[in-house]
Structure 1
Amino acid sequence: MSAVVPIALVLIILIPVAGIVIGARRRKKVVAGLSQTAAYAKQRGWQRTEPDRQITQRSLLLYQATGSAVLNIQIQFAGQHRGLAFQAAQVARPPSPQRPTAQWISVVYVPRPVPGPRLQLAEQKLSTATFLQRDTQIGDPAFDAAFHVSAEDANFARTVLHAGLTGALTQDARAQQSVVAFEQQHLFALQHGELTPHNLQAMLDLLVDIHSSVPWQSVGSPGQF
Structure 2
Amino acid sequence: MEAIVPIALVLILGLPVLGVLVGARLRKRAVANLGQVAAYCQQRGWQQVQPDRRITQKTWILYEATGTASLNVQGQFAGQHRGMAFQAAQVARPPSPMRTTMQRLAVVYVERPVPGPRLQLAPSGISSTTFLKRDLQIDDPAFDAAFHVSSEHQGFARAVLHPGLTQALARDGRAAESVIGFEQGHLFAVRHGELTPEKLQSMLDMLIDVHLNVPWQQLGSTA
Deviations 1:131-187 (A, max 9, x none): 111101111111111111001111111110100000100000010000000000000
Paired residue for 2:153?
153
Asked if 1 retains the 8 angstrom alpha-carbon contact of 2:114 and 2:217, the reply is no
Give the total of aligned pairs: 223
Q: Are 1:123 and 2:137 counterparts?
A: no
Distance in 1 (alpha carbons) for counterparts of 2:176 and 2:7:
49
**Aligned partner of 1:38: which letter?**
A
Q: Are 1:90 and 2:90 counterparts?
A: yes
Shift of 1:5: 2.3
Paired residue for 1:71?
71
Asked if 1 retains the 8 angstrom alpha-carbon contact of 2:103 and 2:193, the reply is yes
Q: Are 1:135 and 2:135 counterparts?
A: yes
**Aligned partner of 1:100: which letter?**
T
Distance in 2 (alpha carbons) for counterparts of 1:71 and 1:155:
33
**Aligned partner of 1:35: which letter?**
G
Q: Are 1:46 and 2:50 counterparts?
A: no
User: Please, which runs of 5 or more residues in structure 1 have no aligned partner?
Assistant: none
Shift of 1:18: 1.3
Identity of aligned residues (%): 66
**Aligned partner of 2:82: which letter?**
R
Shift of 1:8: 2.0
Paired residue for 1:179?
179
Hey, which bits of structure 1, 4+ residues long, moved more than 4 A?
none
**Aligned partner of 2:153: which letter?**
D
Deviates most, 10-19 or 204-213: 10-19
User: Please, which runs of 5 or more residues in structure 2 have no aligned partner?
Assistant: none
Shift of 1:220: 3.0
Shift of 1:28: 1.2
Distance in 1 (alpha carbons) for counterparts of 2:96 and 2:175:
31
**Aligned partner of 1:81: which letter?**
H
Deviates most, 187-196 or 36-45: 36-45
Distance in 2 (alpha carbons) for counterparts of 1:145 and 1:39:
39
Paired residue for 1:102?
102
Paired residue for 1:59?
59
Asked if 1 retains the 8 angstrom alpha-carbon contact of 2:89 and 2:108, the reply is yes
Distance in 1 (alpha carbons) for counterparts of 2:89 and 2:72:
10
RMSD, aligned α-carbons? 1.0
**Aligned partner of 1:41: which letter?**
C
